[in-house]
Structure 1
């Protein structure tokens, strides 16, 4: 067991635009807890929005982020220390490659007790509140006793293991769309999540899979991942193209993953009557739309998608079988000490997915 005063390098969030590389105390495993050595941790779009001070994270009387906290929820690692009872509790041993789901359920509220643990009323998530545990932008992190832990095959490549969390979210989102064989499906946004959703949606074999994005290189990746049609709104009329594919009716399923208000209004325009609109994105500000479209004009089925419940084993299996890949999506790796450079790149259009890999040397 490591000494309680041993130290490690971590990124510490102190407030908007105030994230620092620091030496902090290394966690120690208690009853039914694990300490893992981090293999990699992705920088998510929500991390970038949190850093920039987006109101949804910092606003109101009870802000979602409670600093100081080590951020990071797209992590995996290797079991370094097992607290008393942890081996039996989680079914793991020292050295195992593992991942914990991003939510740390309370296991007491009505949602946890009914099996809907990802909607836990307390809703602690790794990397945003320190009450339960810090996140993965560090050399080591602790998994509390209520964490949902999954083993990863030892032979899985680092980049694939690092996208298990976003892939799980992508799977849940696609499942919420209830895609049928005759459906025309539109995925708005070809960032990391949109590209993973494209691969998952292709496995559902819809009639047509359409991806919309402003960047040609990402649309090219989407085509390689199975998109039948790609649309760049800078040069094409999205509504016109989608209606040409659907006898003028509009798409059956619209998945919004741009995180931009225009992605919402675009979807309400191009989706057919009685269609299924799935909202995944985290927005940096409030979004306005003509709400009457949902009821009076189209009677739409609006579905949210949050986290990746019950999807981690599926994500691990799809990656293991090569049905989904991180190739082309994971574009850069940085050491923790290169945080400023890594964040700048992650917050730009010059990357898709940036990983923080402790000890990584370029």
Structure 2
């Protein structure tokens, strides 16, 4: 292991659409903490929302920017342990040189939600890369606080694949919320990183069929490789009619929404059967309006939200390690940290990539 330098490169948020690559001091871990050399950090829709500032993202000036200024972004990552004390090593079961990931939220372990085991809804809600007290991973090094949830990842997995444990855990949590049963017809809207993970997770529950919806043929092809039994290009086909034909006119049992597009909400309510289950995970850029009578008087639907990936990280890591997912086709683009703007712009375009990652150059 090389000597830890005094300075490192990091992306720093100075405000909406003002992210800068700067030289900053390498953080020093405190008692019970770990210093980690970042090997890969993914860019997701939440990062893009923060970059543009919530007010511009939503078109609502009453909404503040999502991230604090002078914070290092990045909440989905993998890296190598370079420094830790005995307390951290015992708590997390890790050692210097191990490849590790940390769950995106650093719980307080004291609020009502944490005390009930619902740590993903922790009241202070300190996620890496959103607040100054929990700097993120768009840097050469980062610190895992003592309160963090840390998991070891096999060292032979590519760093960008290991970092995909974060979005995959989110997908699996949405699948858990759906309570999928053997005879279910499951529809997944969107074949981006979250949707592809939903497809793989839903397929692992062995329902009757998993159907993927998207407008991009290449993403629908990737959905098939992730486990979809049927794909529907909603730009060319009537998804509601097709699903009803497959289900004797009833509709789907489960709808998992992973696009964040307002039109996908009404689509889901209409594609579901009576007493069906709708799970929302998308990050929306504008408000969605629907006919609530479909939810209540017409169908008596269960409409569920899903947030983060509580208790799903070991399963996500195991799924990546198993080779069941076409990880090279999912993790499509990797850029050096200095090209963070190129990465953000590519994610923002929506059609050029699936998962974009930045690869810092830590001296380890």
What TM-score, normalized to structure 2?
Answer: 0.94
- 3-state SS in 1 of match to 2:14: strand
Distance 1:221 1:334 in 2: 22
- 1:101 and 1:148 in contact (8 A); partners too: yes
How many pairs were matched up? 359
CA offsets per residue over residues 263-307 of structure 1, 9 Å max, x none? 111101111110000001111222211122111111101111111
- 2:50 and 2:65 in contact (8 A); partners too: no
Distance 1:341 1:159 in 2: 17
Distance 1:321 1:67 in 2: 39
- 3-state SS in 1 of match to 2:275: strand
What is the CA-CA distance between 1:237 and the residue it aligns to? 1.0
Partner in structure 2 of residue 18 of structure 1:
18
- 3-state SS in 2 of match to 1:295: helix
Partner in structure 2 of residue 37 of structure 1:
37
CA offsets per residue over residues 290-345 of structure 1, 9 Å max, x none? 12211111110111111111111111112222233423110011011111212111
What is the CA-CA distance between 1:88 and the residue it aligns to? 2.2
CA offsets per residue over residues 69-117 of structure 1, 9 Å max, x none? 1111110111111146322232211111111100010110011011110
The within-5 A match list for 1:67-106 is 67-83=69-85, 85-106=87-108
- 2:101 and 2:163 in contact (8 A); partners too: no
Distance 1:165 1:175 in 2: 16
What is the CA-CA distance between 1:62 and the residue it aligns to? 6.8
- 2:114 and 2:122 in contact (8 A); partners too: yes
- 3-state SS in 2 of match to 1:86: helix
Distance 1:39 1:171 in 2: 24
Of stretches 192-201 and 46-55 in structure 1, the one that deviates more from structure 2 is: 46-55
Distance 2:3 2:63 in 1: 38
Of stretches 103-112 and 312-321 in structure 1, the one that deviates more from structure 2 is: 312-321
Structure 1 residues 15 and 62, CA gap change in structure 2 (3 angstroms):
closer
CA offsets per residue over residues 90-146 of structure 1, 9 Å max, x none? 221111111110001011001101111011011110011112x20111100111110
What is the CA-CA distance between 1:160 and the residue it aligns to? 2.1
CA offsets per residue over residues 56-78 of structure 1, 9 Å max, x none? 89965775421111111110111
CA offsets per residue over residues 185-238 of structure 1, 9 Å max, x none? 000000011112111211112111111001010001111222111111211112
Structure 2: any 5+ residue segments left out of the alignment? none
Distance 1:13 1:159 in 2: 23
The within-5 A match list for 1:230-241 is 230-241=231-242
Partner in structure 2 of residue 358 of structure 1:
360
Partner in structure 1 of residue 295 of structure 2:
294
Distance 2:66 2:223 in 1: 33
Partner in structure 1 of residue 9 of structure 2:
9
Partner in structure 2 of residue 320 of structure 1:
321
- 3-state SS in 2 of match to 1:231: strand
1:123 matches 2:135: no
Partner in structure 1 of residue 337 of structure 2:
336
- 1:192 and 1:352 in contact (8 A); partners too: yes
Distance 1:31 1:353 in 2: 35
What TM-score, normalized to structure 1?
Answer: 0.94
- 1:64 and 1:129 in contact (8 A); partners too: no
What is the CA-CA distance between 1:41 and the residue it aligns to? 0.2
Structure 1: any 5+ residue segments left out of the alignment? none
Partner in structure 2 of residue 185 of structure 1:
186
